[in-house]
Structure 1
Amino acid sequence: MAKAKQTLKPIAASSAPLLPLPPEEISFRRYVDDTWKGILKNWRRGWASDNDLSTLDDTIEFTRNEIFVKKVVDPRPFDWERDWLVAHNIHLANLDLVRNHKQHLDDLKKLWGEWTERSYKHIGELSLEALRSMVLIDGAAIIASLAVLSGQISSPWHAAVLVAKLTVFTSVVSLLMMGAGHSLITLKVGDLVGRIRGVLVGNTKHNKLYAVPRYLSRYLDPYGRIANLLIYGSISVFGISAFISAIILMVSEGPSVLPH
């Protein structure tokens, strides 16, 4: 028994051809994109455009209802549904951008706020303690040297007189260097802390917030290097003076050989 031949017929396409997106000048995605550019521009300047964002949300929801629910669309042959979907994706992407950057900016403001508090307090305490220690050490050395130079000791050792003169000079230089170094860094940090706090107040412009590290590198680092040179140099001056004084006393003839 012969089988009946079966012929396959091509299946006709059931969907209509894909319509193009509307041109930029009449598209909804262009409107959403331009609105977001204005919102982001103000946001980067530190101004929150909450009203514009709320209006944009309402417009997107109204347009969605018109296109997908009421089916009220422009009669021109363009894919208005896909145009709305693209616009909605642009809106969501920018919302994510703002949320993520807002957290980052809040963390930056908190970081620099804590830095200003910590730096000002730390520099003040450090300067006070360092100056107090150096005044005690250098002051004791100066007083002991003046006792030799003022004649309070009868027939002083010649090497002791030389060491006393050297100690008085280097101790005074050391104190001046220490005081100048701490005064320089304290005044400069105080000035910069005030400026940075001014930047952090209110709606902070993003470019100013991101520029804080460059600002510190430009205006604080050079003064910090000079201050450190003076501070550690003062310690080196005192240490070298003590070393030279010890050598002078070691190689000089002792008081036992002085004439009576």
Structure 2
Amino acid sequence: MHKEGLKKDLRKVCVIPARLNSSRLKHKVLQIIEGKALVERVFVKAVESGFFDQVVVAIDDEQIGAYLEKVGIEYFMTSPDCPSGTQRLIELVEDKKIEGDFFVNWQADEPMLPQGLLIDFFAKVEISDADVVTVQRQIQSKEHVDSPHVVKVVTDHGGKALYFSRSPIPFYREEVDFADKKIFEHVGLYGFFAHGIKKIAKMQDNSFLESCEKLEQLRFLEYGLSIDVATTQFASIGIDTPQDLERVRKYFKKESQLFL
């Protein structure tokens, strides 16, 4: 259990894992949005949030490094063999390239995480005694409940994760109006206390649950880590497809015109 009063003194480090190759959108993190590459947009958003003592980018290709060098953003090269953003973060911690008490994995395709979501997230961090902290939001559409691309989460009475799934959970055995169902989607913002990082680094890559659902957080649960889940009402727009990119470009274009 963390001692009360120490949380506000945590050194918080944000790591933005930026991978060059993307299956659905070529060189996604270098796509330009109103004069700035996506990865720069995310970096600026993280810095301007005011929550972090340090913000860095973890890259896997020199093309990203060349861009970040040009715009003066701190970055570190990580192994191209890292299977996930979490592993890139862990690599930086283990190599002592970054030091802190709490590390946030902010996905490089999330330039529009709402400040309200971050406030909800860090409010949970302040009272957490877990290894990992993440976020959930109540699902508003049946389409999202049924979609395997929307990860669902259930928690215990204390707000700790019991399970994550691509399937609808919980399953309502009896017929219930959708408006009365409480089904939550997992928002992919992760925070790791330093002791949680040490535990994850020691895990073997043999999680049955992770292999079934292709969700790394199931490995955390299978190995006994505790995951606190903050609840938020705020939604974000991630960029996975060309259509998502155009939506975000239109948003930033509109924002820039407000200052003309």
The TM-score range, normalised by the shorter chain, is under 0.3
TM-score calculated relative to the size of structure 1: 0.18
More helix by share: 1
More strand by share: 2
TM-score calculated relative to the size of structure 2: 0.18
